[in-house]
Structure 1
Amino acid sequence: MKNSLVLLFLFLSMAGCKESNQLPITDFDPEGMNKYTVVDVRTPEEYEAGHLENAVNINWYDTDFAAQASQLDKENTIYVYCQKGGRSAKAAAMLDSLGYHVIDLSGGYGALVPVQD
């Protein structure tokens, strides 16, 4: 019985997964692109310390993140990033569930500008 439950859990976990759309942030080049929006899901303080050019800041930790994100143009591809990749992966999954075409810029802003101690 215990083995059956474990197998069922693994099956359901795998069935719910789909391959995510990711692009290393170091490979992101907006030159010549059209109909896209870059979303920085870090805190306003992180954003102010530095961000990608023309990025829109929507803080993942805001309680109204979904409401703010719903203002994005669904005709645009949404490129989302954070500092290391955790928040952007969650945000990308949420935006995808809302019907957006989302690319998670993996590695995060820290891959471009390492945090100074």
Structure 2
Amino acid sequence: MKNQLALLLLLISFTACSQTTTTSYKNIDQKIFAEMMTGKDVVILDVRTPGEYSQGHIPSALLVDYTNPDFAANVEALDKNKTYLVYCASGKRSSNASALMTKKGV
């Protein structure tokens, strides 16, 4: 489990996205992600599949599967007053998810 978490954190350095305003998001490195994840009003979103999530995830990360047909509806239900740290395995889903979240004003 520790190895999986270490791998996950390594991948975060390449894939994490943080919403900065309602009009954009930015890619952040592992160090900034780690600093931000304990902040007030910060929510960590894991946009991988349930199978990937069950193999290991960041404690307190919420699973919001990007491939789920209800993903857009799930995004709309998110609190717009929170900061979201979004991650996946390679960066593509987290980038696409962050772009959609930005488009929806989250």
TM-score by length of 1: 0.64
Q: Distance in 2 between matches of 1:53 and 1:98?
A: 26
**Does residue 27 of structure 2 align to residue 22 of structure 1?**
yes
**Aligned-pair CA distance for 1:25:** 3.2
Aligned residues: 82
Does 1 or 2 have the higher relative contact order (CA < 8 Å, sep 6+)? Answer: 2
For residues 24-63 of structure 1, what are the structure 2 equivalents within 5 Å?
A: 24-29=29-34, 30-31=37-38, 33-63=39-69
Moved over 3 A (4+): none
Q: Which structure 1 residue ranges, 5 or more long, are not aligned? A: 1-17, 101-117
Sequence identity percentage: 34
- Superposition RMSD in Å: 1.7
**Aligned-pair CA distance for 1:70:** 1.6
Q: Which structure 2 residue ranges, 5 or more long, are not aligned? A: 1-22
> Which of 70, 88, 91 lines up with 2:97 in the alignment?
91
TM-score by length of 2: 0.70
Counterpart of 2:77 in structure 1: which amino acid?
Q
